[in-house]
Structure 1
Amino acid sequence: MNKTNENLSFYKRFRFMSSVFVLMMLGISLQAQTNSYTLKGTVTDNVGPVPGVSVQLKDTNLGEITDFSGNYILKVNLNPGNYTLVFRSLGLVSKELKITLTNESQIVNNVTMNSDILGLDEVVITGAGALTSKKQLGNTISTVKGLAITESASVDITGGLSGKLAGIQVTQNSGDPAGGISVRLRSASTVNGSSDPLYIIDGVIVNNNSIDVLGTTSVVQNRLSDISPQDIDRIEVIKGAAAAAIYGSRASNGVVQIFTKKGQSGEPVITVSSSINFNSLRKKRAFNEEPFEWASSDITVLDKVPATRYDYQDMVFNNSTGTDNYVSMSGGKENTNYFASFSYLQNNGILKSTDYERQSGRVRINQTINDWASASFGTYFSASKSNDQPNGGYVAGILPTILFTNNTIDPSADADGNYPTMTFYPNILEYLETFDFNQENKRTISDLQLTLNPSDGLKINYILGYDNSESLGNSYIPIGTTTIALGSATNTTINTKQLNSDLNASFDKNINDNIKSTTTGGFSWQTDKTLLSSISASGLALGVKTTNGAASISTNESRSERSFWGGFLQQTFGIYDKLFVTGAIRMDGSSVFGKDERNQFYPKTSMSYLVSEEKFWKNNFGSSINSFKVRAAWGQAGNLTAIGPFDRLSNYSAIGIDGTSGLVAPTRLGNADLKPERQTEVEFGIDMGLFDNKIGVELTYYKQDIKDLLLARTLSPSTGFGSRVENIGTMTNNGFEALITANPIQTNNFSWSVTGTFSTNKNEVNKIEGEQFGIGNFGFSVAKNGQPLGVFYQGFYARNDDGSLLLTPGGIPQREKGSYDVNGNPAPERDASGQPTGTSLSKVIGDPNPDFIASLINELKYKNFSFRLQFDAVQGVDVLSWDTRMFYRFGGGAQTGSELSGESVRGTGAANFGIAESYIEDGSYIKLREVSASYLLKTPLQGVDNIKFTLTGRNLFSIDNFSGYDPEVNMDGQSNGARGGIMGLVPIPSVIKFGVTATF
């Protein structure tokens, strides 16, 4: 389909929906609404009043939410007759209440709801507007309340998800004020593509790209950092290929659905909150404190001379503060409600001269047009700016300068302002005081939604969503630095626009008293456009920080555009309200593939069986195992983002030579027959509620088989090309997930809840041409046949038969040598003296994929006091610490100090520098991720409903054996395959946050 036809097709769809909207508006006056009624009451559970309960008139768009005291007031205009009120809330069993409307205008019903520890009655959204209860699902879906994200003290929404769910690994890749965060649901599912889940905010597919506008991966941000966590009502997470049945193959890595707060009818409710946070370096790295230096560079000479050593860490790190301020107003009258908010965040980094500032606002208006039609409009805007510093990875930076420097140099400038040379990187104070690296981001997310219930059981939902983000990066390096003597300036802009149009319909029909049918179908169309432009200059004019007047200027511009489309049909049968069987078929297409392979079909089937609803179960096990659900799901999905918009083509590069334009032939041959990578997943699980629903257990096993991985294959030189991308690789994931939650104590005054998660995954890639290829960490991270993605493959120690190090005659460790056998395995060899001989050998020396991840959360509430404690654990993971490697050799590390003191042989560090195994470290940790205490003061003043005081700590301590700052960070940023590399990265700070929230 060409671009013109695509745009025309979208125009026709948009015109059709606009016509439907107009006709619906014209039909409002035809609805008969004879009497006005007020439905009111109080909702309680076994503890007391329950705020935030959804109260809805069944099969209509009429509903309300209970206030802080559990009260609801729903005003409606209806014909007299029989109706049903539905009460829903997270953690409580949904309840239906039949009511009869006669001549009385006021109907009062108080309702008591029971605990639902597994959330089986919880209503979730499994597609654009497609509602279902969790008990019907054969796959896992988990919900996190917005309050848990808000009180996590995380600047980023995704950071607040850490430890909240089983099967989700959240990693903060940098300690910068808005450092990027990686999220993996289960595991990596591709080699060259993205394994990020699909992010959806209020039905809008949003951009969470990690874009590098400064040329340094260590300060790359996620675009979800644009969103204020305080606007979040709840987050629903769907894992695995089953998520793709309705959302499409872009959801093959799972879906993170973010729902923002909405207004409710009644008097305006104003919420104001303000907080201050204190950031600090959690621990310092050991460094060389010996007051001596070697008198000679000859390692056989052990003479020393006095030396003054400096603690560079104290010079570049500091304690810092930040503030987060928020105000919202919600309310409404009869058929219209609104919600509006504004927030301002400012956070200083623990690395000097770094900070992050964000302003954002949101408006949401919901309009109930009549009892069968409603509309909603929302828009969100944000603007942010960060002052950054280049911080390692593959480029120069403050912390790399420290790594590469013998700390005998005073970095202070002289009387003329000249900074002494520390190493081949700029002086650390020169960075802080003269460099200027900053990012600016502007973001708008808007949506228009239309919901129709034209007849009993039929629901039609349309969503038009738009996301526009623009990132601008500016960098300036002054004249006279060590790396760029003539200075440089760069300006880079990346603009991404996304549009999604989703039309879905569902129809519920009771075939008889025992069988219920739900049919769902829909169509989606999405497009995104990205424009990148940059200008770089070197040889700056004296006193000028821009590219104007520079001696050498280069420009770069690229544009890309993609379209995705798809439709689905899903059928669910509910039998006796305890056995649910679902089958679905989906067609997905993407413009990035060849025309003959663009459209692919993906089936899905699932089953959910509430065994505990059977009479035999209730009679034999019901007293101890209150609920028992067996579930299974099987589904297929494609990865539509493993290649770029034009990667199927042979792409020529434009070039200008002596004023004449030309083209450079590519080294990679195009392939018009590329098709999406295909993932097949099977999932089995059980959900149990034990001992009067005081304990809930969710257990899940899954297996993913991924084929047709898009990888480069080497071509014969006679073709004129070096390689071509083909569907040749495979990948498997096997995993187990467990979630256990318990409410040991639940009384009116005191409650205690405990939640624990445990997840494990085994990944393996195969059918890679040439056995392996490098994917990051200077080529040390590889995709290798028969191994997990991203293992470290490099040199290792020579060892004796007992496993001890085989040292040189001088007592220094050395790299293993020998040859490789017919299977490619290293075979060590020894000369006559027993020393290594032959070629330097390499093997897999580490794995950055954890054996398991886990978390433990305790929550206690006593009257108006609450306390929360969360530990996160990542175990069995290796990291490649380039920090350790550099400290082996360049004099500022503890290794040189131990050689100077005589604790180790001089030259040991230099030898370890050349043996990669020496800087493979155990990256396992147990972190106190969150600890918080709060007190709710009710009606302290006239006109004030409540004031809440909160004290939160984040990343306060870590139990680990890592020699550096923090094993969690990653120099390849949000890279899919290259994980576990650490070099000159800002550590994740400890944060203490004090906040006050008042509701009027």
Structure 2
Amino acid sequence: MYLTRLRRKLGAALLLCAGLMGAELEAQGTYSIQGTVVDATSRRALAGVTVALRGQGARTVTDNGGRYTLTAAVPAGSYSVVFTQVGRGEAVRAVTLGDSRAVQLGATPLSESALQLEALVVTGSGVETERKAIGNAVSTVNAEQLAGSGAQNIDAALSGKIAGAQVNLTSGTPGAGASVRLRGTSSIIGGAEPLYIVDGVIIDNSSDQLINFGYRSNPTNRLADLNPNDIERVEVLKGAAAAALYGSRANNGVIQIFTRRGRAGRPQVSVGQRVGRSELTRRLNFNDYPFNEKGEPVQRFDNQDFIFRDALTVETNASVSGGSEGTQYFLSADYADQEGIMRGSDFQKIGVRLNLDQSVGGWLRLSGGANYVTSEASLVTNGEQGVGGLLTSIVFTPTDVDLRARDPETGRYRNAAFVFPNPLEVIETWQAPQDVSRFVGSFQARATPIEGGSLEFRMGYDTYSQETSLYIPRGSAAAGAPLGSAQAVLRNQYLLNNDLVGNYRFGLGALQLTSTAGVNHTYTNARNVVASASDLTLTTELVRGAQTTSSQNRFETATLGIFGQQQVGWRDRLYLTGALRADAASTFGADERWQLYPKVSGSYLVSEEPFWENSVLGRWFDSFRVRAALGYAGSQPGGAYDRFSLYNQAVNITRQGLVHSPRAGNPSLKPERQREVEAGFDASFLDERLGVTFTYYDQYVTDLLLPRPFTPSTGYFDVLDNVGELSNRGMELELRSTNVDRPRFGWNTTFIYSHNRNRVEKLAGTAFASTSGYPTRVAEGYALGEFWMPTFRRDSAGNILLNEAGNPLPSLTPEFVGSPWPDFNASLTNEFRVGSRLTAGFQLDGAFGQQVWNQTRRIMDRFQAGELYERQLRGEVTNAYRLAYFGIQSEYLEDGSYVKLREASLRYNAGRGLARAIGAGNLQFELIGRNLHTWTEYTGYDPEINLFGAATAARGIDFAVYPVPRTVTLGMRATY
């Protein structure tokens, strides 16, 4: 019933918007504007430059030869063509469109610039707006920056490129994504990842562990389905002030991804090939003392040799684009085969994308996109799993055990220590495949019925099927599965969203006004089927056995949003914007069905004032802008049915009945609500060679969802309620400089600094563990998930207390000892150009001041694989001391600060002679290194990894997590 009412309301809103925008169509035509874009200094062709017709929504991107064809369905008249690119200034060319449908602009030079205030960005309404008119900070990453990262996933490629973003590679599992935090964490039990939108389509970015591997893991994520080579640019809206028009789903910010589209002209074919090699970046120090406790010589083994390998990655991609003045197309295909550095793990993906644009009658433009991806992954258990984690097994195994030894009677590998199976057996006989099929489709229809007015309908559909299984053969040493076990999970999910947006731009004297109104509807449907079996039938790998269980569940959610925005500009220097969105969702309680999210912002280009040029500031600054914004956004309850009291079937002998769940429903449930204030400035110096962007923000989240204890007499344990509060405060600084800009040499530098302070302001009751079994806690007055652990017990003078045997005593209660959150993040990027053919660059980024709990080292010391046991063998400590030391958890909390050589690249554009030898118009070679080196005091594999992946409040825990590898890639791309 509720979904039906939502659809009726959507239909009424669509008719209302269409009626408001209805008008007599003016005579319009489809025009084609062609030309090239070159570097103003070296005159080399520039690829990836955005070319747009100001105020009309028509845009394209230059190809590798700097060529473009801009198609626009507009009335005849005078217009401005705007050329922009990240790291460069704006170029504007006047054009008159009349009788001739084809206009040639020739070569347009584009200079390097520290600020891009004229660049077009897409706001929460889906409407393009000049950056200078927006009162909040928006970060942009272009295709060239993504390609130069060498990352397999888009989210990983963003690391170090966005001020205010913490992007961490929490696992090296093939196909695994990164953890992305924009301006801190804004929830406790909800998600912390931003909302992802591709070409106007909200997409799923799940990284759920569907199979029960025993404990935690770092699974693949669905953003891995996207092909980075298809991406034109990425825009990041970092807070509520920027993302308010996305309403109750935008608490964590928004990442908008725009894919490549075709252009008018002859077909252009691009073929790329990359081959990469990955390896373990560093090794753990295992006990290698050559004598045992009796002083007898023994052989020691470094079991890392048996589970790690040098891995190969092969990537092939091809695209063709072109079209006529009325029709443009972009078609691409990609294949990737990625081996993991852990034996038995790999990831293969095949994807196809088609983007089409069609002009109809000079006033209507239709656009569509289709992306189909199929992938296969071979997973290995890693990260704490008690049923057979590869690293778990070797950290629990004494180093005098030869894992390669086999039982002479059965021929099977001998078991590792305790209840863990031999990791070599796991690699060779266990199976954990994951198959994914995904389709993402989009459709847009944009009508321009009157000059300055547009009406756009957008529809998106994202569906995928994910099947994951785990087979453990009979005879394995896995706990609880001596006769084998099998699991299989099938998830089918689809997400449908529809938008109707009307936009009208007009002038009124010195004022420029832009009015926007729209409606949005989103619907999600997910179904899971789970089956498991133990005591398996002989010679089968199916879920068949003496004991079987199965279950099925379904989830549905729907959201309806209505929004409006008014922007007023004065003399191209002062801009004020006000907006409001109203959301209703099926996850909200009946008493809180509608939620409002307002926004106001202002932007003032002081340097455009007449007095500026002759002022003291004018002599220092080329341009100066101040901006401020206030906005509200929300985060919906994570469960589809949290507002209901649920019942489960119960059977008593032959009678059946219902038993309610331990958690009561809440008819007053509503989304978490974030208020954000941000203010900052953008300035440029030295003839636009140096640019500074600074932002300060203050977030306060109320109505945090937390389980609130319930009165026991009701029969319920707790209820999910809006009772918590937390805050994030921080600053962002970005410096861009053009150090050298000469025809034969260029050098650009970008420095980014981010600082965030998170604080839990209010809880439903007392502090609680942020994750079961680990020494992290959520407590008022502290940041989320900080470390509370036993320390050395001390006397009043601070001396460590010892027991009668001379061993240290742990404190009676856990104490606050550190935080997994960094004091600040920073990155430094340098780009070099030699002549017009050779470019090079590198990126350093790091996090400073955070701690990591090294549970891996703790287990190694306790179970005879670590250095503390080696000290015992040397007679430096006693066995009792080592065992007592195990209880002092804080002694395994380490400084997790690091600096990484994240990226280094070298690109060479071959001359025309070599390109023509293979029939190509352009030929480029590249050498890219990623995660090449880490400077850190941390003793584990990598201070960046996290046992809990992208979990909201569980960070900085290292327990046998899949390490992030070092990768070097050699590539070639030919354009025809």
* Same-fold call, TM cutoff 0.5: yes
2:242 aligns to what? 243
1:834 aligns to what? none
Out of 209, 230, 236, the residue aligned to residue 212 of structure 1 is 209
2:414 aligns to what? 420
Distance 1:716 1:20 in 2: 53
Out of 866, 869, 876, the residue aligned to residue 903 of structure 1 is 876
2:473 aligns to what? 478
Contact 2:466-2:490 within 8 A present in 1 as well? yes
Structure 1 residue 169: Cα displacement = 0.8
Contact 2:31-2:97 within 8 A present in 1 as well? no
The one-letter amino acid paired with 2:947 is: M
The one-letter amino acid paired with 1:998 is: A
Tell me, yes or no, if structure 1 residue 866 matches structure 2 residue 839. Answer: yes
The one-letter amino acid paired with 2:392 is: P
Structure 1 residue 15: Cα displacement = 9.3
How far does the alpha carbon of each residue in 1:54-80 deviate from its partner, in whole angstroms, 9 at most, with x for none? 444555566654444444456889987
Tell me, yes or no, if structure 1 residue 884 matches structure 2 residue 857. Answer: yes
Structure 1 residue 273: Cα displacement = 0.5
Contact 1:36-1:77 within 8 A present in 2 as well? yes
Contact 2:28-2:363 within 8 A present in 1 as well? no
Distance 1:871 1:114, change over 3 A: closer
1:293 aligns to what? 292
Distance 2:699 2:330 in 1: 42
Distance 1:862 1:600, change over 3 A: same
Q: Which runs of 5+ in 1 are unaligned?
A: 296-303, 817-839
Structure 1 residue 610: Cα displacement = 0.9
Tell me, yes or no, if structure 1 residue 184 matches structure 2 residue 177. Answer: no
Distance 1:71 1:229, change over 3 A: closer
TM value normalised by structure 1: 0.92
Q: Secondary structure at the match of 1:243?
A: helix
2:821 aligns to what? 849
How far does the alpha carbon of each residue in 1:577-631 deviate from its partner, in whole angstroms, 9 at most, with x for none? 1111111111112111112202111211111111111233221233431111111
The one-letter amino acid paired with 1:194 is: G
Distance 2:865 2:708 in 1: 44
Tell me, yes or no, if structure 1 residue 393 matches structure 2 residue 380. Answer: no
Structure 1 residue 243: Cα displacement = 3.0
Aligned-pair identity in percent equals 36
Tell me, yes or no, if structure 1 residue 632 matches structure 2 residue 608. Answer: no
Structure 1 residue 394: Cα displacement = 5.0
Distance 1:813 1:560, change over 3 A: same
The one-letter amino acid paired with 2:785 is: G
Distance 1:800 1:606, change over 3 A: same
Contact 1:352-1:432 within 8 A present in 2 as well? yes
Distance 2:603 2:31 in 1: 41
2:269 aligns to what? 270
How far does the alpha carbon of each residue in 1:5-25 deviate from its partner, in whole angstroms, 9 at most, with x for none? 33455567789999999x99x
Contact 2:467-2:489 within 8 A present in 1 as well? yes
Distance 1:20 1:434, change over 3 A: farther
1:924 aligns to what? 897
Out of 394, 401, 405, the residue aligned to residue 397 of structure 2 is 405
Structure 1 residue 198: Cα displacement = 0.5
Distance 2:729 2:28 in 1: 57
Tell me, yes or no, if structure 1 residue 323 matches structure 2 residue 314. Answer: yes
Distance 1:89 1:454, change over 3 A: farther
Contact 1:342-1:359 within 8 A present in 2 as well? yes
Distance 2:458 2:74 in 1: 28
Distance 1:759 1:941, change over 3 A: closer
Tell me, yes or no, if structure 1 residue 990 matches structure 2 residue 963. Answer: no
The equivalences for 1:536-615 within 5 A come to 536-548=532-544, 550-615=545-610
The equivalences for 1:221-260 within 5 A come to 221-260=220-259
Out of 340, 356, 359, the residue aligned to residue 368 of structure 1 is 359
Distance 1:944 1:109, change over 3 A: same
1:298 aligns to what? none
Contact 1:116-1:693 within 8 A present in 2 as well? yes
Structure 1 residue 101: Cα displacement = 5.6
1:135 aligns to what? 132
Distance 1:497 1:709 in 2: 28
Q: Which runs of 5+ in 2 are unaligned?
A: none
2:46 aligns to what? 50
Distance 2:349 2:134 in 1: 39
Contact 2:113-2:738 within 8 A present in 1 as well? no
Q: Secondary structure at the match of 2:882?
A: helix
Structure 1 residue 495: Cα displacement = 1.6
How far does the alpha carbon of each residue in 1:287-306 deviate from its partner, in whole angstroms, 9 at most, with x for none? 111122224xxxxxxxx333
Distance 1:219 1:511, change over 3 A: same
How far does the alpha carbon of each residue in 1:882-936 deviate from its partner, in whole angstroms, 9 at most, with x for none? 1021012100111101111123344332112112112111111111111111111
Out of 349, 372, 377, the residue aligned to residue 368 of structure 2 is 377
Q: Secondary structure at the match of 1:210?
A: coil
Tell me, yes or no, if structure 1 residue 449 matches structure 2 residue 444. Answer: yes
Distance 1:38 1:182 in 2: 42
Tell me, yes or no, if structure 1 residue 719 matches structure 2 residue 714. Answer: yes
Out of 489, 500, 503, the residue aligned to residue 503 of structure 1 is 500
Distance 1:783 1:481, change over 3 A: same
TM value normalised by structure 2: 0.94
Distance 1:531 1:879, change over 3 A: same
Tell me, yes or no, if structure 1 residue 701 matches structure 2 residue 696. Answer: yes
Structure 1 residue 767: Cα displacement = 2.4
Q: Secondary structure at the match of 1:127?
A: coil
Distance 1:52 1:124 in 2: 15
Distance 1:58 1:315 in 2: 60
1:827 aligns to what? none
Distance 1:409 1:938, change over 3 A: same
The one-letter amino acid paired with 2:224 is: S
Contact 1:59-1:456 within 8 A present in 2 as well? no
Structure 1 residue 42: Cα displacement = 5.7
1:783 aligns to what? 778
Structure 1 residue 244: Cα displacement = 2.9
The equivalences for 1:349-364 within 5 A come to 349-364=340-355
1:332 aligns to what? 323
Structure 1 residue 572: Cα displacement = 1.2
Q: What is the count of residue pairs matched by the alignment?
A: 961
Q: Secondary structure at the match of 2:145?
A: helix
Structure 1 residue 32: Cα displacement = 6.1
Distance 2:579 2:226 in 1: 34
Contact 2:10-2:560 within 8 A present in 1 as well? no
How far does the alpha carbon of each residue in 1:186-218 deviate from its partner, in whole angstroms, 9 at most, with x for none? 111011101111100000000001111222442
Contact 1:688-1:696 within 8 A present in 2 as well? yes
Structure 1 residue 770: Cα displacement = 3.4
Distance 1:75 1:794 in 2: 63
Distance 1:17 1:268 in 2: 38
Structure 1 residue 96: Cα displacement = 3.8
Distance 1:13 1:270, change over 3 A: farther
The one-letter amino acid paired with 1:509 is: F
Distance 2:671 2:32 in 1: 55
Tell me, yes or no, if structure 1 residue 341 matches structure 2 residue 313. Answer: no
Q: Secondary structure at the match of 1:6?
A: helix
Structure 1 residue 511: Cα displacement = 0.9
Structure 1 residue 520: Cα displacement = 1.3
Distance 1:524 1:682 in 2: 25
Structure 1 residue 180: Cα displacement = 3.6
